[in-house]
Structure 1
Amino acid sequence: MTTDKYDFAIIGGGPGGIATAIEAAVHGIENILLIDKADNHSSTIRKFYKDNKRVDKDWKGQSVQIEGNIPFMDGTKETTLDFFDQLLDEDKIDTAFNTEVENIIRKEDEDCFVITTATQSFKATAVVIAIGKMGKPNKPSYKIPPSIQEFVNFNLDKCSTGEKILVVGGGNSAAEYAYELADEDNNVTLVYRKPTFSRLNPENETILKQYNGQEKLRLRMNTDIESVENEHGKIKVNFNDGYYTIYDRLIFAIGGTTPIDFLKKCGMDLDETGNPIYDEHYRTSVHCMYVAGDIAFNTGGSIAAALNHGYHIVNSFMRRSGRIYAHTDKVEAFFEKNPSFKPL
């Protein structure tokens, strides 16, 4: 680290955090720190996206206009990670991976934050909380016996071929897990507690219905799970319709939760569902504390939209701190130094 006081300290190395760091660098802010508890940036993409998974700029078919200076476009998991590598490598942004923030305290007398980790503390004028929800996936209310937990997943880790698999959930992650596993010669059932899907993008819904019709996978709708047991080393799933089925593997894709305790410790106001309250510039109730990325989406959002968060946050910070946004000479110098960027 090059200083013990930063203009921006960004907690979370996903798209929203990366965008905030890059937008700040583009506009001449020099002291920027990006922190993530994982060993690299974009841990959600690395962990929860299957290899070669499509990454669309217009997620769920919703067109998102890029408002800032990051020319994001459609790609795959690998090209997206390469792109973010390039962004962080282009400019001098301090990074601290394998670092978990324990506390953030606002020091009004010093007009800054003190950010504490297990090994050190440092100060920052502004803090951006850009931690994801999927780092803490939702878990079922019923108990999973310890003897079969190695066969219970919250992503596609350790999945192989030729398995009988039950995927639980009704969102896009559940749908994508189901048909991708079916493509790898697994016997897949997708169970959803409601009679119809309400959160799928059109493409995923079309693929699911097609695969169900071709018997490449089975949709078990309007059905919930009552309990899970160990049946001779396999997973016995008891459904609320009175039937049970034995599976080799069980995958939960039932969403992620906002880390409420951490947000409360930071001092920000939350709504009745535990999500942070923020304005159109992603400012929270704490002066100079912002939210970006997944945690700023109440119902889920795209990478492109998260990139726009960074643009609005830096815009707001520079206006409120009395700086002129879009210093033309600094922006032009940045693009001359970094030709892979193109102003939009």
Structure 2
Amino acid sequence: MTDKIYDIVIIGGGPGGIGCAIEASSHKLGEILLIEKTDNHSNTIRKFYKDNKRVDKDYKGQVSVLQGNVDFFDGTKETTLDYFDNLLDSDKIDSLFNTEVEKMIRVGDFLEVHTSNGIIKTRNAAITIGKMGKPNKPSYKIPPSIRSQVNFNLDKCSSNEKVLVVGGGNSAAEYAYDLADQNNNVTMVYRKETFSRLNETNEEILTKYDGQEKLRLRMNTDIESLENEAGKVKVNFNDGFSVLYDRVIYAIGGTTPVDFLKACGVDVDESDKPIFDKHHETTAKCVYVAGDIAMKSGGSIAIALNHGYHIVNNIIRKRGQIFSHTEIVASIEDN
């Protein structure tokens, strides 16, 4: 699609990708390309954050000191998107939207990035895709007649509905109490007896809301199946009870795109997580990971931005080593 050879191709337009792009531009790394499969950057924020949702630099207690050139600050969904817009508009960064990356292979000194629009050559690549782009789905069937009432984010939610939120993580908790604040009748169901993945703030809010009967916690309960009953979602629980809901929201995490990582030559561990070193370089030479895919638990925009700082600095460090080696060889030849 082009004869240009990029110094870094960034796959994914979320905070990790934006952090890589801005750091690369600030350090004058060279030719930079940001590839995003949707029609704009920050798709997870656009799709999974409700309007005016608060966005904190220190996400739920994950205190992070920003190390790079992005001065991220507390705000809302809208101010965060505006800020990222301004960053990308003001820097010399090429971008390709609505473009899927299929695989990546090394050919000599370069990486060939195979996309839905052709092949791109680069010296380095950063995989910064999130996991929520591929949300986990239940093993049982969702009947087609009620699929519009079974969601994986808050896009179609309103108020005055009877809603079941499925999951036990931070996203599920935030969905549950956000919906409760919108005058919905909310139940949150979790298959275990106690929460094990919630941060302290979310657990406190859930306990408070449950105690005030603003929402109901249904613990140690799983779902066996869903049915359509008179246009409602009939949820059949494993304790023998069945309840009708206007809407069911699943927040049961996302899946690491293992097949894609392998197609890029990246090895994964026994938990299907990418293997990478302290500089975020994977087992595939000059291929890095950043953002949610490189975190044990996602959510922190500040941490994702810092990943970009470490990646670009490592590329610069390696370039310096190569340059020094070249100088040494030239000196030997002169003598």
TM range (shorter): over 0.9
Aligned partners of 2:173 and 2:38: how far apart in 1? 26
Aligned to 1:82: 82
Q: Is the 8 A contact 2:59 2:299 kept in 1?
A: yes
Alpha-carbon offset, residue 252 of structure 1? 0.1
Alpha-carbon offset, residue 210 of structure 1? 1.5
For residues 262-313 of structure 1, the C-alpha deviation after alignment (integer angstroms, 9 at most, x for no partner) is 1111111100111100000000001100000011013325110000100000
Aligned to 2:326: none
Aligned to 2:176: 178
Q: Secondary structure at the match of 2:7?
A: strand
The one-letter code matched in structure 1 to 2:14 is: G
The one-letter code matched in structure 2 to 1:136 is: K
Aligned length: 323
For residues 191-214 of structure 1, the C-alpha deviation after alignment (integer angstroms, 9 at most, x for no partner) is 011112222222222221111111
The one-letter code matched in structure 2 to 1:92 is: K
Aligned to 2:329: none
> Is 1:96 aligned to residue 90 of structure 2?
no
The one-letter code matched in structure 2 to 1:190 is: M
Aligned to 1:72: 72
Q: Is the 8 A contact 1:12 1:130 kept in 2?
A: yes
> Is 1:193 aligned to residue 191 of structure 2?
yes
Aligned to 1:139: 137
Aligned partners of 2:228 and 2:127: how far apart in 1? 40
Structure 1 unaligned segments of length 5 or more: list them: 326-344
Aligned to 1:204: 202
User: Of 272, 275, 278, which aligns to 1:274?
Assistant: 272
Q: Secondary structure at the match of 1:196?
A: coil
For residues 13-57 of structure 1, the C-alpha deviation after alignment (integer angstroms, 9 at most, x for no partner) is 001110001101111112000000010000000000011111111
Aligned to 2:240: 242
Residue identity over aligned pairs, in percent, reads 68
Aligned to 2:327: none
Aligned to 1:217: 215
The one-letter code matched in structure 2 to 1:62 is: Q
Aligned partners of 2:277 and 2:60: how far apart in 1? 24
Alpha-carbon offset, residue 228 of structure 1? 1.1
Q: Secondary structure at the match of 1:322?
A: helix
User: Of 120, 123, 129, which aligns to 2:121?
Assistant: 123
Specify whether residues 165 and 102 from structure 1 end up closer, same or farther in structure 2 by C-alpha distance, changes over 3 A only. same
Alpha-carbon offset, residue 184 of structure 1? 1.2
Q: Is the 8 A contact 2:105 2:112 kept in 1?
A: yes
Alpha-carbon offset, residue 2 of structure 1? 8.3
> Is 1:257 aligned to residue 255 of structure 2?
yes
Please show how residues 250-329 of structure 1 align to structure 2 within 5 Å.
250-322=248-320
The one-letter code matched in structure 1 to 2:261 is: L
Aligned to 2:226: 228
Alpha-carbon offset, residue 163 of structure 1? 1.0
Aligned partners of 1:256 and 1:215: how far apart in 2? 30
Aligned partners of 1:82 and 1:135: how far apart in 2? 21
Q: Secondary structure at the match of 1:274?
A: coil
Aligned partners of 2:315 and 2:83: how far apart in 1? 26
Specify whether residues 163 and 301 from structure 1 end up closer, same or farther in structure 2 by C-alpha distance, changes over 3 A only. closer
Which deviates further from its counterpart, 268-277 or 298-307? 298-307
Aligned to 2:330: none
For residues 299-344 of structure 1, the C-alpha deviation after alignment (integer angstroms, 9 at most, x for no partner) is 325110000100000011111122799xxxxxxxxxxxxxxxxxxx
Q: Is the 8 A contact 1:2 1:94 kept in 2?
A: no
Q: Secondary structure at the match of 1:242?
A: coil
Q: Is the 8 A contact 1:294 1:300 kept in 2?
A: yes
Aligned to 1:42: 42
Aligned partners of 2:91 and 2:2: how far apart in 1? 14
TM-score, L = length of structure 2? 0.93
Aligned partners of 1:324 and 1:154: how far apart in 2? 47
